[in-house]
């Protein structure tokens, strides 16, 4: 008889959280409350024999939840009082520390009442059974040793006793062991039906199916914190889990009288080898193919299918079709092809597991959900209503004090509720209906952005919780301005994961965005000519070269430009440079860029040109357009060109070669376009030290100059 404990202790420093949890359980339990760890310990000391469970917050003043768990461990209370930790922190460190200190479960804030209620009830029930199991096992073992009944009765008694231990300890469905028996029997019956080379009698199949129930007996030795962990196991935890195959065999060897039973060798082999895989990548012995007994293989496949189609602490149940696809895709390991064929043939029966395999043929889940939805909601206490109203007022005040538009979208009713700031800006009502009609939002948003947002919102999930966008909205009717939009989903996970709507906020960032745009322009564009500056053009060309099959870098220098400044002044000279930038820009195609290197020097990048002849014609047209006749002299442009990849593999090498070609042009009379060749290295030395920065500090520019033929210092 299980001792019924009648009290729940709720430990949280926030009164509203305590009130909400109190609402869930006050109809069945007497509720005790504590607002910090020290107060909680005093209550535990007095009420430890009456506490069914403790709901423990992590972050609290005076003493946090971890400190409470440490003291509960020291005093041995953790062994007979289950603890669920409730926290807003979801990091692996927090969760790992909680389980290591003995917490049975960890629930994240904000919590779903239905989920919390169910998990608390399950743990209370399972923990009560767990605390009585040692005596139960001892009694069953004594009866088995003392009695000498018929073989089949002994088998069933032993199986029921030992498998019950796993059911209560592992918090898996109590139906799991029964399912393994039935699926194993169905697989083996089908196997001997379609294949003649597997020699199993009906009596053997019966013994194997009974032995299959004991496949996980070794999990008795696995700590609860690992066995019932809802998250992903660490490599170290998985190694502990793997030991249950060896532990099961050791337990069997120490059970008096079992070795004399006909099904003992099936039990032993199944315990040890039900995690071996057809390709040798299982454990503990790494057996391959038919080195694994056919009964261990059958139990392994039955275990995988039932685990996938059943709800676990770490996952929801998959449909029979999805489970079968995962098995065939080898997501659960590799199985015997003969057994896979058997599984496919019996799949119609397994797909109806709720009605056929279940012992007591429970009501369909849809009926249960419908009945639960008919129930009236529980009465909410005046205390909880008062606290919720205070939270609502705080929420409203905070939203009104800010310049943010807060919104909530009700998916079922297709309506959105905005905060008062929306009315101040737009003059419209704060409740907007029929958002699924495109025209409803198009008065505020560009059409292309509307479709983009709709597609991104659909990607939100429990894992991908937040969507952050920057887009232009026309809220006040005076034109589009930049806004930051953050959206998060509202999820109902009572029975299935379902998105009920969205919440979010809209913040005007027009000033910040314009400043950012101006800063970007200042960083990347030449202030005079409004084309790319030296650093920006290097970055862009370097990026284009990564995908280029051919390219050309053209270095342009304006002949006689110094005379412009000397004769007409710098303002006139600046206007000439602007005109030159405009001329070059209008001659460019897609993925072609121009940048100002400094003074009267420009660089042009040509991406994937068709032929050198066609490129030459374009550059000759450009050179002709650069020529300007002034009163006393003529301005012209000298061009030097290098080619990728034959003249260089990166931007700086290509620019250096184009520079050599340019000065070959100037040496031979200016107003010429010349292409890099070895001859360019034979021109007399020119002093370029002042322009070293054009190539970057990383380039050994002096070293490059020393490659010029002849003794440069004597020229």
**Residue 407 within a domain:** yes
Domain containing residue 52: CATH number: 3.40.50.2300
Pairing of strands 415-418, 481-492: unpaired
**Residue 113 within a domain:** yes
Statement to judge: residues 156 and 289 lie in one domain: yes
Pick the last residue of a domain from 492, 514, 536: 514
**Residue 367 within a domain:** no
Statement to judge: residues 313 and 434 lie in one domain: no
Residue 481: per-residue pLDDT: 92
For the stretch 45-92, pLDDT in tens is 999 889 999 999 988 888 999 999 999 999 999 988 999 988 877 677
pLDDT beneath 70: ranges in the chain: 1-4, 90, 130-174, 256-258, 260, 351-382, 384-385, 388-402, 438, 493-496, 684-715
Residue 176: per-residue pLDDT: 77
**Residue 674 within a domain:** yes
3-state helix, strand, coil in the chain (%, to 5): 50, 15, 30
Which residues are within 8 A (CB) of 81 and not within 5 positions of it... i.e. 6 or more apart? Answer: 44, 48, 51, 53, 54, 72
- Return the H-helix or E-strand segment holding 385: helix 382-401
Domain containing residue 450: CATH number: 3.30.450.20
Statement to judge: residues 91 and 27 lie in one domain: yes
Domain containing residue 566: CATH number: 3.30.70.270
Statement to judge: residues 196 and 296 lie in one domain: yes
| Number of domains making up the chain | 4
Total-model pTM: 0.40
Residue 60: per-residue pLDDT: 87
For the stretch 218-270, pLDDT in tens is 888 788 778 777 778 888 888 988 898 998 888 888 776 667 677 778 889 99
Residue 699: per-residue pLDDT: 38
Three-state secondary structure call for residue 232: coil
Statement to judge: residues 507 and 531 lie in one domain: no
Statement to judge: residues 606 and 680 lie in one domain: yes
| Maximal CA-CA distance, the chain | 126
Q: In which residue are the tokens 């461990």 written? A: 73
**Residue 373 within a domain:** no
What does the alpha-carbon distance between residue 123 and residue 136 come to, in Å, rounded to a whole number?
19
Statement to judge: residues 199 and 168 lie in one domain: yes
Statement to judge: residues 395 and 305 lie in one domain: no
Statement to judge: residues 71 and 119 lie in one domain: yes
Whole domain around residue 543: which residue ranges?
A: 525-714
For the stretch 5-43, pLDDT in tens is 889 999 998 888 888 888 888 888 999 999 999 999 999
Statement to judge: residues 117 and 231 lie in one domain: no
Residue 377: per-residue pLDDT: 41
Query: What are 498's strand-pairing partners?
Result: 492
**Residue 32 within a domain:** yes
Mean pLDDT score of the chain, rounded to an integer?
Answer: 81
Query: What are 408's strand-pairing partners?
Result: 417, 503
Statement to judge: residues 482 and 538 lie in one domain: no
**Residue 217 within a domain:** yes
**Residue 372 within a domain:** no
Residue 137: per-residue pLDDT: 63
Burial class (CB in 10 A: 0-12, 13-18, 19+), 203: exposed
Statement to judge: residues 356 and 422 lie in one domain: no
């Amino acid at each position: 008889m299980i001792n019924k404990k009648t009290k729940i202790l709720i430990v949280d420093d926030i009164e509203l959280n305590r009130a909400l949890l109190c609402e869930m359980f006050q109809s069945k339990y007497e509720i005790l409350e504590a607002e910090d760890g020290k107060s909680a310990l005093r209550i535990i000391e007095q009420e430890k024999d009456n506490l069914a469970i403790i709901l423990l917050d992590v972050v609290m003043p005076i003493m946090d939840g971890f400190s409470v768990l440490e003291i509960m461990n020291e005093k041995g209370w953790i062994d007979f009082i289950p603890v669920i930790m409730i926290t807003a922190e979801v990091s692996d460190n927090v969760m790992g520390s909680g389980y290591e200190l003995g917490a049975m479960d960890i629930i994240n804030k904000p919590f779903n009442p239905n989920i919390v209620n169910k998990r608390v009830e399950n743990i209370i029930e399972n923990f009560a059974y767990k605390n009585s199991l040692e005596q139960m096992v001892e009694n069953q073992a004594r009866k088995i040793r003392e009695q000498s009944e018929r073989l089949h009765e002994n088998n069933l008694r032993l199986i029921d006793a030992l498998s019950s231990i796993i059911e209560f300890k592992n918090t898996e469905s109590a139906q799991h062991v029964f399912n393994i028996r039935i699926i194993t029997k169905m697989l083996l019956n089908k196997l001997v039906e379609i294949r003649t080379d597997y020699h199993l009698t009906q009596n053997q199949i019966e013994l194997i199916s009974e032995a299959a129930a004991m496949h996980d007996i070794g999990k008795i030795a696995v700590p609860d914190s690992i066995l019932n962990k809802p998250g992903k196991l660490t490599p170290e935890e998985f190694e502990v889990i793997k030991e249950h195959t060896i532990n099961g065999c050791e337990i069997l060897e120490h059970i008096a009288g079992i070795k004399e039973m006909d099904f003992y060798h099936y039990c032993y082999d199944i315990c040890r080898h039900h995690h071996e895989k057809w390709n040798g990548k299982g454990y503990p012995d790494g057996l391959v193919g038919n080195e694994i007994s056919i009964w261990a293989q059958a139990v392994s496949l039955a275990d995988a299918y039932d685990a996938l189609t059943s709800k676990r602490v770490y996952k929801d149940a998959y449909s029979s079709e999805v489970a079968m696809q995962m098995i065939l895709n080898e997501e659960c390991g590799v199985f015997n092809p003969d057994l896979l064929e058997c599984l496919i043939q019996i799949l119609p029966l397994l797909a109806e597991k709720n009605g056929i395999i279940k012992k007591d043929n429970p009501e369909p889940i849809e009926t249960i959900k419908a009945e639960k939805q008919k129930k009236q909601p529980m009465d909410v206490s005046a205390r909880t209503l008062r606290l919720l109203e205070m939270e609502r007022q705080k929420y409203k005040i905070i939203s009104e004090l800010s310049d943010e538009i807060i919104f909530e979208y009700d998916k079922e009713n297709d309506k959105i509720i905005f905060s008062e700031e929306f009315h101040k800006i737009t003059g419209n009502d704060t409740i907007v209906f029929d958002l699924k009609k495109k025209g409803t939002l198009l008065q505020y948003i560009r059409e292309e952005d509307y479709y983009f947002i709709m597609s991104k919102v659909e990607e939100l999930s429990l894992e991908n919780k937040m969507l952050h966008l920057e887009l232009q909205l026309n809220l006040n009717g005076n034109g589009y301005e930049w806004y930051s939009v953050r959206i998060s989903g509202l999820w109902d996970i009572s029975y299935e994961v379902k998105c009920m709507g969205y919440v979010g906020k809209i913040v005007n960032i027009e000033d910040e965005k314009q400043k950012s745009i101006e800063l970007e322009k200042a960083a990347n564009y030449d202030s005079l000519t409004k084309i790319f500056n030296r650093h920006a053009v290097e970055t862009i060309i370097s990026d284009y070269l990564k995908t280029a099959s051919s390219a050309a870098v053209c270095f342009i220098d304006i002949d006689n430009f110094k005379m412009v400044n000397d004769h007409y002044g710098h303002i006139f000279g600046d206007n000439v440079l602007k005109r030159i930038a405009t001329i070059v820009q209008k001659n460019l195609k897609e993925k072609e860029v121009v940048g100002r290197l400094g003074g009267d020097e420009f660089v042009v990048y040509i991406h994937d040109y068709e032929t050198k002849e066609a490129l030459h014609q374009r550059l000759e047209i450009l050179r002709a357009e650069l020529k300007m006749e002034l009163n006393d002299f003529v301005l012209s442009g000298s061009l030097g060109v290098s080619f990728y990849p034959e003249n260089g593999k990166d931007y700086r090498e290509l620019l250096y070669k184009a520079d050599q070609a340019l000065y070959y042009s100037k040496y031979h009379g200016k107003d010429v376009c010349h292409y890099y060749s070895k001859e360019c290295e034979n021109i007399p030395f020119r002093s370029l030290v002042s322009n070293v920065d054009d190539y970057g500090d990383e380039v050994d520019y002096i070293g490059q100059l020393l490659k010029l033929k002849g003794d440069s210092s004597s020229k």
